[in-house]
Amino acid sequence: MSFDLNFIGILIGAIMASSVPLILAASGELITERSGVLNLGVEGMMIIGAISGFALMVISDNLFLAVIGSMTSGLIISIIFGVLTQSLLTNHVATGLALTIFGIGMSAMIGKNFVGIPGKEFPLLFVNLKENIPFLGPILFGHSVILYFAFLLPFLTNYFLKKTKIGLIIRAVGDSPTSASNQGINVILVRYSCILYGGAMCGLAGAYLSLIYTPQWIENMTGGRGWIALALVVFATWSPIKVLIGALIFGGITISQLHMQAVGLRIPVQLLSALPYIMTIIVLVVISRDSRKIKLNTPTSLGQIFYKEK
Amino acid sequence: MNTKLRVSEISKIYPSCVANDEISLEFGSGKIYALLGENGAGKSTLVKILSGVVRPDKGEVFLNDKSIKLNSPLDAKKNNIGMVFQHFNLFETLSVFENLSIDSDKRNEDLRLSVNNILKKYNFKIDLDIPVLNLSAGQKQKVEIIRCLIRNPKVLIMDEPTSVLTEQETEDLFVSLKQFSDEGILIIYITHKLKEVLSICDEVAVMRKGKIVSVSKTKEEKIETLANKMVGENLSTIKKKINNFKYKDEILKISNLNFSSDDPYETNLINLNFSLKKGECLGIAGISGNGQSELFQILSGEIITDYTSIKFRDKEISKLNPRERREYLMAFSPEDRISQAAVPELKIYENVALNNFKSSNFFEKGLVNEKKIKEHSKKILSNFSVNTDNVEMKSQFLSGGNLQKLIIGRELITSPELLVCFNPTWGLDVGAINYIHETLININEQGKSSILISTDNDELLKLSDRICVIYKGKLSKIMDVNEVTPEKLGILMGGGSID
């Protein structure tokens, strides 16, 4: 019995690990979207973060530098998006798509020389406790510092948006950039900051993939997680806590269906593989049904180009 | 201390027009100043300059004889200039308190205290913790005013403040404005409503085509003198038509019409019943947001609620879509000319074809018969005095008045039995308003019926045979126009009862 419990604990720990990149990227994108900017470049920023983190790790042999570097590179390519959409007033959707295509291509080019190089072991915290406490041990302990940060992030984001002045200003800009501008708020600055923050979080999500989750570089290794993160934000109706729930469900079903495949259940593999997507959407749609709340949480100006009157 | 605000030789030129042409004016506190002019006269540009939203190309602003720079809204705030915009500058999804705290440097507790003091002092009743989208227009305006008052303004600019208010709310606003003025706040009141200028303002500056054409004391002015200064020509006044009720047939009957929506921005309609005779105009008054747009969309078929509530010429049409209803000779002119009635990027003749796409004249075997459509469009342009004969022009380059004439013309040229129009003269200049009004009177005289949903009471009293008021999705009893007064309408529009 204790073996079973421990197994479930390990399973839950694995689920948590697999949802980390989604939580990080979606929390970042959530802030960006709350300011009224729709950045579809999440996948691109994530994969740039993944390759630059891995490359820096190989070159410098310093994991701390690698993590910081991946966040910085995510941030830098989000600047491209910022300049295009905020200063040159291009369409958010088209620019975001271009950013994703750019990121995937760019990462493949940089990554050519890094294929097949083994990763470095990332330090895990409280490994002793993990092994000595059954069930709860593998759930609560033995994770990287980034995982703990990721699980705090939705709560911090929620607090930031609801309780702080800057959070209030971001929501105001997302609601009506024109009104905000007429109130003397620098809309462009706010939106730039949110875009850069989103970029850095996507970079961090990429670093988690290439440095911790599967410590190596594989071309296209984000495998659509950026798109899932984007969908999570929308289906969670811009609520950070629901993003966390959605990411866990997605991670949970992804891992469980792998186990089901391994056990050899007589369900078509294709159906099992599709299950995480279907279930996540269903659950989020069901928990976000309150149309009043949706109205209040949805950034009204999402995706609209803001042009300041002169 | 008395506040003096002076603008000197302000100019602002846009690519398409000269909005402000060397404007010089002086205001002093203790008085209420009216800035009067038609739409497009340049009033809004001038006040946007004063509030730092727009920068002038040339000219200076002096506050108490000191030149001030107004490069951003923050500069205006620093100089204690407050502004209440015509289209509210509020964040609909944030709570009232969040809206107020966003540009305040005070701690939340202190802010709440000072807001509560303002609420008490001026007898405003507003729940601070509900989202702004749940407030009425009058309440939203109060939130904007409170936002200015928190900063102890020396100057308060009100841009077309009564366009969204009921009669009662307007009176309340005037009381507040007098109070502010007595406290030494300089009030600049922008409007195109002549009655308001005479009833509350002390001095009036009239603007026309970007220039100041007259400055005078309101005591020396009358409605007619101001109107002529504003328009720059002598206006012919149209007489209200006299309905001889020569037709008795009922053309439209609405029975037990209900509509309920999950959308918090929409209003539910509750058990509407009315009927319309041939040749009659039914006016529906009310403050915007009380269910007018829902009612319009149900009448036009954009929203289908049920299958039994609308009978038109003895046929049940409730489940028909807008195109099918047009085939039964109904016609519709929606409130928003740009986004609902026409596609601004399309050419005039293309817009004409839009609501006639079943017409066999215009389309043959799936192909567009441009020649026929263009001929038809030219006919509309000349019959309805649209100020161009170029059917190839993009609709967005038409002025509001000309676009409205085109839309009404497009609807009427098929000789419909019923025209439903929603705020047909909203935002138009006096000349265009007169034309639209004459047209609406004419169709009644030809035995066609109309439903006029409008927020302009003068217009309703002039054009309707019978009037009712919509309030929170319910209709008041329908009254003969002769027994209706603006006061009665005001009471009903605010949810009161007149029996």
How far, in Å, CA of B45 to CA of B210, rounded?
A: 9
| Contact check, Cβ <8 Å, B94/A310 | no
What pLDDT is attached to residue B248? 80
The backbone torsions φ and ψ at residue A286, rounded to the nearest 5 degrees and listed phi first, read -65, -45
Interface check for A164 against chain B (CB to CB < 8 A): the answer is: no
**How far is residue A154 CA from its own chain's centroid?**
11
Q: Give first-to-last CA distance, chain A, whole Å.
A: 72
**How far is residue B179 CA from its own chain's centroid?**
27
* Residue A239 resides in a domain: no
- CB atoms under 10 Å from CB of B6, counted, come to 16
Interface check for A113 against chain B (CB to CB < 8 A): the answer is: no
A262: Cβ contacts below 8 Å, ≥ 6 apart: none
For tokens 């609902």, name the residue: B340
Please give the tally of structural domains in chain A: 1
Query: Which stretch of A22-26, B113-117, B381-385, B419-423 has the lowest confidence by average pLDDT?
Result: B381-385
How far, in Å, CA of B177 to CA of B103, rounded?
A: 23
In chain B, which residue's Cα lies nearest the Cα of A34? B93
Interface check for B14 against chain A (CB to CB < 8 A): the answer is: no
Name the residue facing B54 among A291, A292, A309 (closest C-beta). A309
Q: In chain B, what residues touch A175 (CB-CB under 8 Å)?
A: 91-94
Q: In which element (H, E) is residue B297 found?
A: helix B292-300
Q: Is the pLDDT of residue B360 over 70?
A: no
Residues B156, B187 contacting (CB under 8 angstroms): yes
Most confident of A58-72, B23-37, B315-329: A58-72
Name the residue facing A175 among B51, B72, B93 (closest C-beta). B93
How far, in Å, CA of A98 to CA of A107, rounded?
A: 14
Q: Determine the distance in angstroms separating the CA of B111 from the nearest CA of chain A, rounded to an integer.
A: 13
Q: Copy the structure tokens of residue A185.
A: 């708020």
Q: Copy the structure tokens of residue B16.
A: 């398409």
Q: Which residue has the higher pLDDT, B16 or B119?
A: B119
Q: In chain B, what residues touch A169 (CB-CB under 8 Å)?
A: 102
What pLDDT is attached to residue A200? 97
Interface check for B93 against chain A (CB to CB < 8 A): the answer is: yes
A87: Cβ contacts below 8 Å, ≥ 6 apart: A188
* Residue A238 resides in a domain: no
What pLDDT is attached to residue B245? 64
pLDDT band of residue B243 (cuts 50, 70, 90) is low
Residues A202, A45 contacting (CB under 8 angstroms): yes
How far, in Å, CA of A153 to CA of A202, rounded?
A: 13
Interface check for A296 against chain B (CB to CB < 8 A): the answer is: yes
- Classify residue B209 by burial, with Cβ atoms within 10 Å: 0-12, 13-18, 19+: middle
| Contact check, Cβ <8 Å, B51/A185 | no
Handedness of CA A212, A214, A216, A218 (dihedral sign): negative
How far, in Å, CA of A269 to CA of A271, rounded?
A: 5
Q: In chain B, what residues touch A179 (CB-CB under 8 Å)?
A: 88-91
Beta carbon pairs, A and B, within 8 Å: 69
* Residue A176 resides in a domain: yes
Side chain identity at A86, as an amino acid letter? Q
pTM here is: 0.75
Buried b (16+ CB within 10 A) or exposed e, A113-130: ebeeeebeebeeeeeeeb
| Contact check, Cβ <8 Å, A179/B88 | yes
Domains of chain B by range and CATH? 4-231 (3.40.50.300), 236-329+415-499 (3.40.50.300), 347-414 (no CATH)
Side chain identity at B406, as an amino acid letter? L
How far, in Å, CA of B265 to CA of B218, rounded?
A: 40
Q: Is the pLDDT of residue B56 over 80?
A: yes
Interface check for B12 against chain A (CB to CB < 8 A): the answer is: no
Of A33, A61, A36, the closest CA to residue A233 belongs to A33
Mean pLDDT by 10 residues, chain A (310 residues): 74 93 97 96 97 95 95 96 95 95 95 90 86 84 94 97 94 94 92 97 96 93 92 91 94 87 82 86 82 84 83
For tokens 């072991």, name the residue: A121
Q: Is the pLDDT of residue B499 over 90?
A: no
Interface check for B57 against chain A (CB to CB < 8 A): the answer is: no
For tokens 């629901």, name the residue: A242
* Residue A104 resides in a domain: yes
| Contact check, Cβ <8 Å, A172/B91 | yes
Mean pLDDT computed over B107-118 = 92
DSSP lists the bridge partners of residue B450 as: B281, B419
What pLDDT is attached to residue A1? 45
Residues A142, A13 contacting (CB under 8 angstroms): yes
Q: In which element (H, E) is residue B213 found?
A: strand B211-217
Name the residue facing B102 among A168, A292, A297 (closest C-beta). A168
How far, in Å, CA of B340 to CA of B320, rounded?
A: 19
Query: Which stretch of A146-155, A199-208, B153-162, B356-365 has the lowest confidence by average pLDDT?
Result: B356-365
B465: Cβ contacts below 8 Å, ≥ 6 apart: B243, B280, B281, B282, B444, B480, B481
* Residue A40 resides in a domain: yes
Side chain identity at A162, as an amino acid letter? K
Question: Sheet containing B250-259: which strands, arranged edge to edge?
Answer: B269-277, B250-259, B310-312, B315-316
B248: Cβ contacts below 8 Å, ≥ 6 apart: B277, B278
| Contact check, Cβ <8 Å, A295/B263 | yes
Look up the domain containing A41 and give its range: 2-223
How far, in Å, CA of B229 to CA of A271, rounded?
A: 76
| Contact check, Cβ <8 Å, B94/A171 | yes
pLDDT band of residue B239 (cuts 50, 70, 90) is low
How far, in Å, CA of B463 to CA of A215, rounded?
A: 77
How far, in Å, CA of B143 to CA of B132, rounded?
A: 9
Residues A78, A18 contacting (CB under 8 angstroms): no
| Contact check, Cβ <8 Å, B93/A182 | no
Residues B129, B101 contacting (CB under 8 angstroms): no
Long-range contacts of A224-228 (CB under 8 A, 24+ apart): A224/A43, A225/A21, A225/A22, A225/A25, A225/A43, A225/A46, A226/A25, A226/A42, A226/A43, A226/A44, A226/A45, A226/A46, A226/A47, A226/A100, A226/A202, A227/A42, A227/A43, A228/A22, A228/A277, A228/A280
Q: In chain A, what residues touch B101 (CB-CB under 8 Å)?
A: 165, 168
Scan residues 172-211 of A and list those with Cβ closer than 8 Å to B.
172, 175-176, 178-185
| Contact check, Cβ <8 Å, A168/B98 | yes
pLDDT band of residue B238 (cuts 50, 70, 90) is low
* Residue A133 resides in a domain: yes
Which three-class secondary structure state does DSSP give residue B273? strand
Averaged pLDDT of chain B: 86
Residues B492, B309 contacting (CB under 8 angstroms): no
The DSSP letter of residue B481 is G
pLDDT band of residue B244 (cuts 50, 70, 90) is low
Q: Is the pLDDT of residue B116 over 90?
A: yes
In chain A, which residue's Cα lies nearest the Cα of B72? A184
Q: Is the pLDDT of residue B294 over 80?
A: yes
Q: In chain B, what residues touch A172 (CB-CB under 8 Å)?
A: 91, 94, 98-99, 102
* Residue A290 resides in a domain: no
**B208 conformational bin, left if phi > 0, alpha if psi -120 to 50, beta if neither:** beta
Mean pLDDT computed over B396-409 = 85
* Residue A66 resides in a domain: yes
